[in-house]
Amino acid sequence: PGVGRPSDTFESAPAGRRGAPALGSPTPAATPLPVGTAGTQVATTDTVATYQAGPPQRPAIHHDNGFLQNPNDPNDPNPIATQSPGVGDYAARAEWEGRLAAGRAIQGIPGVPHNNIPDGLDTYDHFLHGNGADRHFSYERFVSNDPAGQAVLTNSTRDTQQGAEAYYNQLVANDPSLANRPVTFQITGSQIPVGSSEQFPYPETENWQKAIGGHNVWNSATVTVYPPEQPGGQPRFSMDMTLHAEDRYNFNPGQSDIATGAPDAANGRLERTGLGHQYTNYGTLQRQVTWTQGSPENAVSRPIGGR
């Protein structure tokens, strides 16, 4: 197992066993003081993302345009114009429609290849029939059903915890009196690419390889910090965090499907002729995370509002 593999007990262990304050424990009566200035950069060297104070702010995420990418500029955000489809293109579209229907028919049948790819089929269906409209999917399902999703949640949460501690330390350094009272602030982070590192690995299951593959996440959070209850103790953190996920669903020249080896060019032709449409997938999940300063690894995390 790699260092990025999540703890099996991250979201389920009793608080007492993990050494963190129990969720639902009484909070101090004093109303937390809102602190921080939106736009202030968080000074930290041990996080993957960079953070700043303030409400959620989507980072400038760049998505490629697959087979509609400007061949002279890989960074051009505007897709090139499509071509008029021919008879062969309509026949290819009909063939892929048939494959989609067949794929749905075999879901859940034991021993049949590709029998557990419901999310992958849904995303492909939207490619054929969504006319390029944005689509929202369940990141909870990715976290629950793919080990890579579990790693992404664990490691991105830890990253945001470290950002929260760093900003709290900045605030107290500027005004030591804040250490004696509960305070609350917001932070928002830059994007983290998923699929290119051990901490944030590519999806392991065929379903999620097909559904989202490599993508980006970014976290935002409202953090409340309570001073130590005992002299010499550490402050307690409670963080309501939102993980935001984004993926451009399209096909790319020179690539192929991992599970079947089917070349992307087959569907790329549908993109080029307007018989299939690239689009952007969005997903979110929310967690309440509690821990004692200096021990983010002992955090207790639970879904906000239930699963």
User: Are β-strands 279-292 and 135-136 bridged in parallel, bridged antiparallel, or unpaired?
Assistant: parallel
Cα–Cα distance, 28 to 30 (Å, whole number): 6
Of the pLDDT bands very low, low, confident and very high (cuts 50, 70, 90), residue 7 is: very low
What's at 11, amino acid-wise? E
What's this model's pTM, rounded to 2 decimal places?
0.89
| Residue of 289, 33, 2, 252 whose CA lies nearest to 161 | 289
CB 206 within 8 A of CB 117: yes
| Residue of 82, 192, 210, 190 whose CA lies nearest to 137 | 210
Of the pLDDT bands very low, low, confident and very high (cuts 50, 70, 90), residue 29 is: low
Whole-number pLDDT of residue 2 = 37
Of the pLDDT bands very low, low, confident and very high (cuts 50, 70, 90), residue 1 is: very low
Whole-number pLDDT of residue 216 = 98
Reported as a single tens digit per residue, the pLDDT across 195-215 is 989 999 999 999 999 999 999
**Across all residues in the chain, what is the average pLDDT?**
91
Of the pLDDT bands very low, low, confident and very high (cuts 50, 70, 90), residue 43 is: very high
